[in-house]
Structure 1
Amino acid sequence: MTARIRVVSYNIHSFKDDPHALAAVVADLAPDVLVVQEGARRFRWRQKNAALADRLRMVVGGGGLWSLGNLVLTTLRVRVLETRDVRFPLVPGHHMRGAVFATCAVPGAQFVVTGSHLSTDAAVRPTQAAAWRAEMRGYELPVIAAGDLNAEPADPTWAAVADGLRIAGTAPTHPASGPRRAIDGVFVDKRIEVSRFQVVSSEATLRASDHLPIAVDLVIPD
């Protein structure tokens, strides 16, 4: 058996933009799993992330404060079996960074989805990327990794995350008003088939965030 799912990765710019446009973008994409960067991570973070999920007609699968604003939202088609938050080693003078992991099941397959938002500092990013990839290796299930890498594909950061995985595709995602930099990425286990990769640009995405969302359609083996 196999399962077909749609995963969307989206940096939502810390709720700074038009929430109605954000809801419209996500509704149009209709993901089974939404991996969010820059979700709520401070005061009233649970309520804020729950309100986001409600607006998007999804549920919170995992993440928030303990994963440093990384968040997994799902539809009711997806059962979240287990979640885990990871924090990368703190580098003095830099923001704390981390990742969320969610073990999920849909009819026909199980998989792990993980999301992260890496440092803007080129000296720090590859180490964080390697730490993230090392955490993924602890799972036997197929892994889907999505995040804002703050680096383009030629940067060592991408190679560190992609080690042993397949890059689903690349295209500029930032800034949304005139994308020039491919700094957001989705990486999948080589057992997973990527049937479609798209970076979505529309009138609504210009108002929803400073990043464009990535949507991938995947076929996951049993």
Structure 2
Amino acid sequence: MPRSGGVPLRVVSYNIHGQRDDTAALAAVVREAAPDVVIVQEGPRRLRWRAKSAALAASFGLVVAAGGLPSLGNLLLTSLRVRVTGTRCRRFPLTPGRHLRGAAYADCVVAGSARFTVAGSHLSTDPAERPGQAELFGRDLAAAPHPVIAGADLNEEPGGPAWTAVARGLTDAAVAADRGERFTYSCADPRRRLDALFVDPRITVVDYDVVDTPLTRRASDHFPVLVDLLLPTAG
């Protein structure tokens, strides 16, 4: 049932390191969190990416909403509680000699009346090309048809130009929960907050956590970001 003031939604944003670590631990981490939405960075993007994306989603107890190869490894997964009404993907312009990057978007509805757009991206490690990608991603978020929930590995810390471009007009969930000091990278030596979840100001941040456990330290090189939200309802 909706809580007073909104509809609850649990979201995880997670760079899964191309599933190169302990995949059983990865599945256990996400299943334990019991999210409605998972925003994946470094998901399947090459040979048999559809089957691999479906298998990853199934290991989490979720289904694929959008992403994969068309968004270059950004993947949006949802529980059956969430109905997806539209999807789209973007590839950022290629800088010669660098890796392609992209973003995935899905328009969703939960509890019959709470609509939102979920988005995910993984920006470049190159400080010269990252701000341009961030501007394109930020423009897409500003043009979204519903209140936005955006998860990303920005490869940059708060205050940088790319971070600022993506965050424009949105609420940083970590700051809203007074947990901006929680580092997300690396699991071996956590010193940087590279991973963020931003939400439309109409969405309430109820809780925020960077999940640091023995399982998460085995599952990837990034910690997952776990956020509880309250979504506004239509009317």
Please tell me the TM-score bracket, short chain as reference. over 0.9
Q: Paired residues, what number?
A: 222
Structure 1 CA distance for aligned equivalents of residues 116 and 190 of structure 2: 31
Q: TM-score, normalised by structure 2?
A: 0.92
Whole-Å Cα distance in 2 between the matches of residues 193 and 158 of structure 1?
Answer: 21
1:29 and 2:40 correspond: no
Alignment of 1:11-30 (within 5 A): 11-30=15-34
Percent identity, please.
55
Divergent runs of 4+, >6 A: none
Listed one character per residue, the Cα deviations across residues 116-144 of structure 1 (whole Å, up to 9, x for unaligned) are 00000111111101100111122231001
Q: Deviations over 1:40-70 (max 9, x none)?
A: 0010100111110111111001100000000
Secondary structure, counterpart of 2:212 in structure 1? coil
Amino acid at match of 2:119: T
1:137-179, Cα deviation, whole Å (9 max, x unpaired) = 2223100110100001121111100111111113211111221
Corresponding residue of 1:79: 83
Q: 2:73 aligns with which of 69, 72, 83?
A: 69
Which one of 163, 169, 181 corresponds to residue 192 of structure 2?
Answer: 181
Q: Distance in 2 between matches of 1:114 and 1:197?
A: 18
Unaligned runs of 5+ in 2: 175-179
Work out the CA distance in 1 between the residues paired with 2:103 and 2:88: 9
CA distance in 2, matches of 1:61, 1:140: 17
For the pair 1:196 / 2:207, whether they are aligned, the reply is yes
Over aligned residue pairs, what C-alpha RMSD do you find?
0.9
User: In 2, Cα distance between the equivalents of 1:9 and 1:52?
Assistant: 15
- Taking the TM superposition and a 5 Å limit, the aligned residue runs for 1:71-220 are 71-107=75-111, 108-169=113-174, 170=180, 171-220=182-231
TM-score between the two structures when normalised by the length of structure 1: 0.98
What SS is found at the alignment partner of 1:61?
A: strand
1-side partners of 2:105 and 2:40: how far apart? 12
Runs of at least 5 residues in structure 1 that lack an aligned partner in the other structure: none
Looking at structure 1, the residues matched to 153 and 145 of structure 2 have their Cα atoms a distance apart, in angstroms, of 24
